[in-house]
Structure 1
Amino acid sequence: MTPAFARAFAAFLLLPAPLLAQATLPRPPASAPSPFADMVRPAPATPAVSTVPLAIALEAGTGRLMTLPRPALTVLAADPRVARVQPASPTTLFLMAVAAGRTTVIATSEDGTPVAEYDVTVAPSRAAAAGAPPAPVAMPGAGTPPAAPPPPSASAVESMIRRMVRGAERVRVEAAGRNGFVLSGTVPSAADAQRAEAIARAAVGDGPGLVNQLSLLSSLQVNLRVRVAEISRQVSRDLGFNWQALANDGNNFLIGLRTGIAGGVANAITGSLSGTNSVARVGAGVSSSRFDINAVVDALASDQLITILAEPNLTAQSGEVASFLAGGEFPIPVAASNNANGSTISIEFKQFGVSLAFVPTVMGPDRLNLRVRPEVSELSTEGAISLPLSSGVVTIPALRVRRAETSVELGSGQSFAIAGLLQRNSNATNSGLSGLGDIPVLGTLFRSDRFQRNESELVIIVTPYLVRPVSDPKALGTPTERLRPASDLDRILERQQVRRGGRPEPIRARFDAGFVVE
């Protein structure tokens, strides 16, 4: 074996196996199927969100209401000069074609994942192309920016509003100026009017060229029925002993205990003192010509339950304020001026009682937004002030006020309540003989206890109604229309002052009265 042959044979053995296979085995043709193709299973692919956009074709000046597969947070149009988007809800959006061209609309969720993607192609408007000259096309490289697309016509905006807004068949859109519109006609509710205005404003842009003169078909009169109920309870308990030792030496010299709960009721037993309380209490005493001893036992329990009920009924127009007051006014002196002759006092009046103020707003055929401000106030001596004047001292009372203010949205005939306005006061009084009242067990005979508790609760129930005026005046009546004065026989036998019956005969004159008699 020659050295050259040995070196060539060694180099041949050192070749890599794949290269050796490529060199020795012929490559099968690309079209020949593999005999093992049916035995090989491909690995499962990871599911991915489809990024194939949905193709949408529109005409300039038209629009469409798009429904998304799931709620979206952000919606973006790549070229707003071609198409604009206006979200209507988390799952719907308005797509409005502005000018001829092509753009992409992408909607993403809160976490940034794509919800939907649309490939929007806008064709030129046939109505605009029929009467308008073709827009100049800027040549590439000319250095001039492309002209802005023309705004949609009034007829295109009107057609878009009628397709996207419920009950907008009577809406009219007229051109005003170079880039403005005037909306007129009627819509069912305020929400529909806002939706129509949003569509028109998106077509106009940010300019102030939009005049909204839409009116509503639904009733704008709101009747509010309010029931104000206040329950006040006062519980008092008196229990104890009160001694009165009276010494009489015949010379009108009296010694007695006048303090305590029963200090003013000695006249109920002996009649020797002029008391101020006429309620008789249980007592016992020993009386002689020169010495009297009276022991009065207080055991009085009382419960007082007071209910105040007011039912104001108000009717107001949507967006207007209506108020009500059932109570009174009390005077307050106010210093008007201070000159060399002295101060001048004027009088101002402050309202108190049950008051109500509300502002209704009609949102739809059966939807109301309501701002309510009920208030219940009463005069109180707690916190009252006294003013010294030249003619005397004037005491100005204070007001105890409970007020609530809220804003809710509800349907016609639905009610809501404002409750939890509670007030509780407790007062305990102990009185007795010093020293003797502190003795264990026996000290109870020489002291009196009084406990008083006041509780009050205020509940306000509000019910709004959408109402319309009554065309027939006979449909409305007063509570006294079917009441007649009772006869003498009814008053004697049945002890009734009025009796129920049909409507009384109207009072008419026996002659023709008036300025003109036909």
Structure 2
Amino acid sequence: MRRLATTALALLLAASPAQAQGDRITLDAREVELADVIRLLGAQSGRNVVADGSVKPQRITLRLARVTFDEALATLVSAYGLQIHRDGAILLVGESASMNRRYPDDAAAGAARTNVFSLAHARPDDVVPALQSALPPGTVVVGDKRTGTVLVTGGDATVARAHALVAALDAPAFGRGGSVTTASIALHNVRASEALRALKGSVPDGAMVADDRQNVVVVSGNAELQATARTLLAGLDGPGRQVMFEVRVADVEPVNDQSNVGIEYAGAGFGAGSGAVGQFPYTLTKSSLVVNTQLNLLVQKGKARILAQPRIATLNNREASLLVGSQYPVVTVNQQTGYPSVQTIDVGVRLRVTPTIGEDGAITAELHPEYSSIIGFNSSFPIIANRKVDAVLHVRDGETIVLGGLFEDVDSETITKLPLLGDLPVLGGFFRNRQATHNKDEVVFFITPRVLAADNPAAK
């Protein structure tokens, strides 16, 4: 017992001068209990470090000269199979299996996992700063020049990102012959992974690593490569052009059996196709004013009704989608478990659009409009009528796209009868009246794409 106290005191005295040297610590422990070393580490660093009761009684011999607190703690965690649980400003250090059982959320998130990376080409002094700048705050990164390894302590996602970064930093082309320069380049208008795919073949493999979480690209290489990467990324990260889609969805009644809804385009000027809606799946016109005026007249006459008129904006080459309607819940029973589950079915107007702006300002629009409605029920399950069309069209800025041909035929029969008498066999027919009706309507999408100026508030 006296020997233990003397040794612990010697450890404390050895570490005390290091406290005056900022965040550098010197530990020289000989046959000292592991729990005591953990507590003394916290005392000398000014951190709240608690040795958990699960730390197994064992005497250790350890010497660490002028290391940071993170380096010292990472060494203990890695060498003795420990785990760290963070509770605010308190660090609880204990045996890994016990800590995982007591803190399952930490285990599920992969908290405080330590991985050692062996470097084949790069130097730890070059790799450690790059990892520290690219990995989340609180990640412990320690380099060992003697063994040529780097130790990373963090969650599973952090360690996985570190693995990708180390693979790039340790590539032969960048680790051999001089120091490695590493920089994180932040992007503002394009995803890091998309930028990396666009630059494939323009820079050597392994020179760049994308981090979508922080939307940065980590570039490793000499000064020339750094300058090239920055220039290429700056070109890709320019302000993206946007397209606003003005949409009107109308339910139109045909005026005759030929499905002519009464919207004629004579003199309006076409981009493709001609005639009345219903005679061709889609029609283009250069005058959105003419089309909207004719549609408004039909609405006033009761021949059409507007189902929705939303607007949606999206970046160039990015898909956008909207749903104007509701989600209908449907209860189903799992045949294997017997438990009920609730699924939802979208009912209403749905639209998916992807614009591509050409050099001349024209727009190639990939359109997927859809209209669905509940027309009845069968054993409490809804019967849904679904009308949709897919089209890829080339239009000028401000031209209106008319997508039609989405018909619905509904046959119904109405029976009126006198009570009791109408139910009599044979004679009941004299007291009943049957009226069959046939309704036909068409859903028409009027879509007008407009390229937004960079200074347009709608584009922000």
Q: TM-score range by the shorter chain?
A: 0.3 to 0.5
* Larger helix proportion of the pair: 2
Per the normalisation by structure 2, the TM-score is: 0.34
Which structure has the larger Rg?
1
